Structure 1
């Protein structure tokens, strides 16, 4: 019997990505469950990935690739010269992606040993760093990027893990914190 043509690496990663989102974590997704979705036996998936760890690494790469596209998409309708507005838009896009795909986001950042290649992480950070460089100058862009990343990732992680226990409007809290951060750098880039 010929190997089912509906199974390939791209479809396998996409299916795993969707399944992780539906199930809520990679732990809930077995190779057997994934294979069943394609109508094949689990061992046939080893043709594409030697183990589940490598499949999860590919899922994490897909997550970061999609997140990068989401961040860049937030810039499409903004003028090139409005660095403050672009930084604000990227922050909102970052948070929106984490909220829309919490399981995939969580997995990409918190799965020991299966982080995607450093190039994927750099590709995600560079557009934010470029906008921060426009606000503060290239010599302070990395410093501003690290603070931005801490704020964005910290807020998104706390939010999707429901760690904000006190009452209040999280949208307003995020807007206030991100706006203060971006405007603070824009107004006074440390000298």
Structure 2
């Protein structure tokens, strides 16, 4: 087996991300990752201190990938479609970063902030700088909920899910663009 110096942290995280998608969070163990990168589990601990640290690194790498995908979106619909594509291509990572569950390790705040930059910028353009955060949260919450339901097979009433997505994106975009008085917001 290769020595630990031949196994990079990037290779470990990539292997862990692949395992997460293949077998789910419960199967993401130090032993499974060690086997995937070709070292013994004790050697893995020289790079990653614990399973929780590994999961945090996976969440951070996933947020970095998401930030890269979203960064140059010029329209809210484009950003939402890229977000949805990420969810479909990496459903387990999507769940880990959007709804990790109680006790699951999470990414450090700066990774979430970096992944939020694109939606905040577009929300600021659409809703104005004073309402950017609220608009970005609304877009993100709606899209994450829709994608989660879609991934879980929760749309069971028939109809065209793609059409529902397009309707929702358009409705959210219109809602955050609409000029409103401050009296609309509850303080």
Task: Determine which of 151, 164, 169 is the counterpart of 2:160.
Answer: 169
How does 1:28-43 map onto structure 2 within 5 Å? 28-43=27-42
Pair 1:7 & 2:3 matched: no
Scaled by the length of structure 2, what TM-score is found? 0.89
Taking a change above 3 Å as real, the CA distance of residues 180 and 110 of structure 1, as seen in their structure-2 partners, is: closer
> Is the partner of 1:70 in helix, strand or coil?
helix
Deviation, structure 1 residue 29: 2.4
Distance in 2, matches of 1:147 and 1:100, equals 23
Cα RMSD after superposing both structures: 1.7
Deviation, structure 1 residue 2: 7.5
- Tell me what 1:83 maps to: none
> Is the partner of 1:99 in helix, strand or coil?
helix
Scaled by the length of structure 1, what TM-score is found? 0.87
- Tell me what 2:185 maps to: none
Pair 1:189 & 2:182 matched: no
Distance in 1, matches of 2:176 and 2:28, equals 43
Pair 1:66 & 2:55 matched: no
Asked if 2 retains the 8 angstrom alpha-carbon contact of 1:91 and 1:178, the reply is: yes
- Tell me what 1:21 maps to: 21
> Is the partner of 1:47 in helix, strand or coil?
coil
> Is the partner of 1:61 in helix, strand or coil?
helix
Asked if 2 retains the 8 angstrom alpha-carbon contact of 1:109 and 1:115, the reply is: no
Deviation, structure 1 residue 31: 1.6
Gaps of 5+ in 1: 79-85
Taking a change above 3 Å as real, the CA distance of residues 58 and 2 of structure 1, as seen in their structure-2 partners, is: closer
- Tell me what 1:56 maps to: 55
- Tell me what 1:81 maps to: none
Deviation, structure 1 residue 38: 2.4
Asked if 2 retains the 8 angstrom alpha-carbon contact of 1:6 and 1:38, the reply is: no
Distance in 2, matches of 1:171 and 1:2, equals 47
- Tell me what 2:80 maps to: 91
